[in-house]
Amino acid sequence: MEDTKPISVQTLKRLPIYLNYLKSLKKDEVVYISATSIAHALGLNDVQVRKDLAAVSDKGKPKLGYVFAELIMDIESYLGYDNIHTSVLVGAGNLGRAFLCYHGFSTYNLEIVAAFDKDENVIGSNINKKQVLSLNKLKNLCERMKIKIGIITVPESEAQTVCDLLVESGVLAIWNFAPINLNVPEEVIVQNENIGSSLAILSQHLSEKLYK
Amino acid sequence: MEDTKPISVQTLKRLPIYLNYLKSLKKDEVVYISATSIAHALGLNDVQVRKDLAAVSDKGKPKLGYVFAELIMDIESYLGYDNIHTSVLVGAGNLGRAFLCYHGFSTYNLEIVAAFDKDENVIGSNINKKQVLSLNKLKNLCERMKIKIGIITVPESEAQTVCDLLVESGVLAIWNFAPINLNVPEEVIVQNENIGSSLAILSQHLSEKLYK
DNA sequence: CCTATATCGATATTATAATATCGATATAGG
DNA sequence: CCTATATCGATATTATAATATCGATATAGG
Q: What is the pLDDT along chain B (212 residues), one digit of tens a residue?
A: 344 567 999 999 999 999 999 999 987 888 999 999 999 999 999 999 999 999 999 999 999 999 999 999 999 999 999 889 999 999 999 889 989 998 889 889 999 999 999 999 999 999 999 999 999 999 999 999 999 999 999 999 999 999 999 999 999 999 999 999 999 999 999 999 999 999 999 999 998 888 76
* Buried b / exposed e along B139-172 (16+ C-beta atoms within 10 A): eebbeeeebbbbbbbbeeebbbebbebbbebebb
Asked if A18 CB < 7 A from strand C, the reply is no
Percent of chain A at pLDDT > 90 equals: 84
Rounded to 5°, the CA angle A109-A89-A107 comes to: 15
Chain B residues within 8 A of A172 when measuring between CB atoms: 205-206, 209-210
Judged by CB atoms closer than 8 Å, whether chains meet at B104 and A41 is answered as no
Give how far the C-alpha of residue B190 lies from the chain's centroid of Cα atoms, to the nearest Å: 12
Q: What is the 3-state secondary structure (H, E, C) of chain B?
A: CCCCCCCCHHHHHHHHHHHHHHHHCCCCCCCEECHHHHHHHHCCCHHHHHHHHHCCCCCCECCCEEEHHHHHHHHHHHCCCCCCEEEEEECCCHHHHHHHHCCHHHHHCEEEEEEEECCCCCCCCEECCEEEEEHHHHHHHHHHHCCCEEEECCCHHHHHHHHHHHHHCCCCEEEECCCCCCCCCCCCEEEECCHHHHHHHHHHHHHHHHHC
Tell me the C-alpha distance between B13 and A52, whole Å: 24
Nearest CA in chain A to B21: A180
Contacts of B12 in chain A (CB under 8 A): 197, 200-201, 204
- Mean pLDDT (whole number) for A144-166: 97
3-state secondary structure of A182: coil
A71 CA – D22 C1', rounded, Å = 26
Instruction: Name the residue among B79, B98, B180 with its Cβ closest to that of A200.
Output: B79
Q: Where residue A174 falls among pLDDT bands split at 50, 70, 90?
A: very high
Per-position b or e across B88-114, b if 16+ CB within 10 A of its CB: bbbbbbbbbbbbbbbebbebbbbebeb
- In chain C, which nucleotides are within 7 Å of a protein Cβ? 5-11, 16-21, 23-27
Asked if the model's pLDDT at residue A60 lies above 70, the reply is yes
CB A38 within 8 A of CB A60: no
User: Which nt is closest to the CA of A46, judged by C1'?
Assistant: D19
Q: In this model, does residue A205 exceed pLDDT 60?
A: yes
Task: Supply the pTM of this predicted model.
Answer: 0.93
**Residue among B80, B45, B52 at smallest CA distance from B66:** B52
Q: How far is the CA of A165 from the C1' of D5 (A)?
A: 40
Q: Are B75 and B58 in contact (CB under 8 A)?
A: no
In a mutational test of the A interface, the residue from B142, B195, B209, B210 whose CB has the highest number of chain A CBs within 10 Å is B195
Model pLDDT, residue A10: 96
Asked if B9 lies within 8 A of A172 by C-beta distance, the reply is no
Chain B, window 86-145: residues with a beta carbon less than 8 angstroms from a chain A beta carbon: 94-95, 97-98, 101-102, 104-105, 107-108, 110
Distance B204 CA to D21 C1' (A): 33
Residue A149 has pLDDT above 70, yes or no: yes
Are B136 and B120 in contact by the 8 Å Cβ rule? The answer is: no
